């Protein structure tokens, strides 16, 4: 298949690119490198089935030209930082909603019918059903990032209903591992690089979330796509259990062999405005398709910590 991948040079996108190329597909990565990195895809630059377009999704002329002739779109591009929207309330409107509209419009104009979209647990807001299933409602996001993901899902649904497209919507838990450029484990290691005696933890450290390794996340998406054929296929992707923020701090300091780190807390139950302090996605729906996570959330955190220490602790 000829696949067009927005954000394909990013953390998750570059792992997806690796997997799609090794499965025999042609891949065009469309990325403006705002948080993607050239070294994540450099090993493909001489591959005949790989093409890179260094451009912005808000540049519709380049997008329209580049998307022509593809069969399937993976739309991963987004502002990945939930915290950013408290300082810049426009960022997720442009990078989440407008960019998704541009992708759908370009698909419509070039008669491309299939899209997979990377949404997030944040669409559920502070859900009262935990684990939260895909059909939970009413969905009331508490961050602009979450609102932009829910709006993008709605646009995808509307384009599917109006123009005969087929969509796969993936609501991710926290995805971690090799090539992370953001997120809690990355932040803790960076902070400890600067100060090995003290680690500031955002919130009260009691937040509980679910963590999944990036390779497993990519595998889960491809498993769902090959095993489903509804007009809209919506699936949670995550681990079956949760890890407390304090546990992550303990794992990171243990793996760095730092014995005397004092943990300090910024306080309050949230790490930042819009943070959902406790979530767990129900993964019963994907399990019924025969996919199961290979690790518990704690195991994934430890494995990702080891990998990231190798990458960024120098």
Ligand X SMILES: NC(=O)c1ccc[n+]([C@@H]2O[C@H](COP(=O)([O-])OP(=O)(O)OC[C@H]3O[C@@H](n4cnc5c(N)ncnc54)[C@H](O)[C@@H]3O)[C@@H](O)[C@H]2O)c1
Interactions with ligand X, residue window 83-112 (CB under 6 A)? 95, 99
Which of 3, 5, 28, 31 binds ligand X (CB under 6 A)? It is 31
Segment near ligand X (CB under 6 A), from 19-27, 76-84, 253-261, 282-290? 76-84
Binding mask 54-73 for ligand X (x = CB under 6 A): --xxx---------------
Q: Does 49 bind ligand X (CB under 6 A)?
A: no
Positions marked catalytic: 145
Residue 235, SS3? strand
Assess whether the previous peptide bond of 163 is cis (omega < 30° from 0): no
State the number of CA atoms in the 13 A half-sphere of 93 facing the CB.
Answer: 4
Which of 60, 62, 181, 247 binds ligand X (CB under 6 A)? It is 181
Residue 258 gets the label, from left (phi > 0), alpha (psi -120 to 50) or beta, of beta
Which of 17, 66, 120, 236 binds ligand X (CB under 6 A)? It is 120
Query: Under a CB-based contact definition with an 8 Å cutoff, are residues 280 and 131 in contact?
Result: yes
Q: Strands 198-201 and 208-209: what pairing?
A: unpaired
Q: Does 235 bind ligand X (CB under 6 A)?
A: no
Q: Does 11 bind ligand X (CB under 6 A)?
A: yes
State the number of CA atoms in the 13 A half-sphere of 189 facing the CB.
Answer: 24
Tokens matching residue 74: 């993976």
Q: Does 174 bind ligand X (CB under 6 A)?
A: yes
Q: Does 243 bind ligand X (CB under 6 A)?
A: no
Q: What is the DSSP letter of 82?
A: T
In the complex, which residues of this chain contact ligand X (CB under 6 A)? 6-7, 9-13, 31-36, 56-58, 76-78, 80, 95, 99, 118, 120, 172, 174-175, 181
């Amino acid at each position: 298949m000829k696949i067009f991948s927005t954000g394909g040079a990013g953390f998750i996108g570059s792992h997806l690119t690796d997997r799609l190329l090794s499965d025999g597909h042609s891949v065009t990565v469309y990325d403006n490198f705002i948080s993607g990195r050239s070294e994540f895809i450099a090993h493909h630059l001489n591959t005949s089935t790989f093409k890179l377009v260094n451009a912005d999704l808000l540049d519709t002329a380049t997008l329209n030209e580049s998307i022509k002739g593809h069969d399937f779109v993976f739309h991963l591009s987004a502002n990945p930082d939930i915290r950013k929207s408290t300082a810049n309330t426009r960022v997720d409107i442009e990078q989440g909603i407008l960019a998704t509209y541009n992708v759908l419009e370009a698909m419509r104009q070039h008669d491309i019918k299939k899209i997979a979209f990377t949404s997030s647990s944040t669409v559920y807001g502070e859900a009262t059903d935990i684990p939260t299933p895909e059909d939970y409602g009413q969905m009331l996001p508490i961050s602009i990032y979450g609102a932009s993901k829910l709006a993008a899902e709605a646009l995808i649904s509307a384009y599917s209903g109006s123009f005969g497209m087929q969509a796969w919507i993936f609501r991710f838990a926290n995805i971690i591992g090799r090539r992370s450029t953001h997120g809690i484990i990355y932040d803790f290691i960076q902070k400890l690089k600067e100060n090995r005696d003290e680690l500031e933890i955002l919130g009260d450290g009691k937040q509980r979330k679910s963590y999944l390794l990036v390779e497993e996340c990519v595998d889960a998406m491809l498993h769902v796509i090959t095993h489903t054929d509804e007009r809209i296929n919506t699936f949670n992707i995550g681990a079956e259990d949760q890890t407390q923020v304090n546990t992550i701090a303990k794992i990171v300091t243990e793996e760095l062999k730092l014995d005397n780190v004092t943990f300090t807390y910024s306080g309050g139950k949230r790490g930042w405005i819009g943070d959902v302090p406790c979530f767990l996605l129900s993964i019963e729906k994907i399990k019924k398709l025969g996919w199961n996570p290979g690790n518990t959330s704690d195991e994934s955190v430890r494995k990702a910590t080891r990998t990231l220490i190798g990458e960024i602790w120098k």
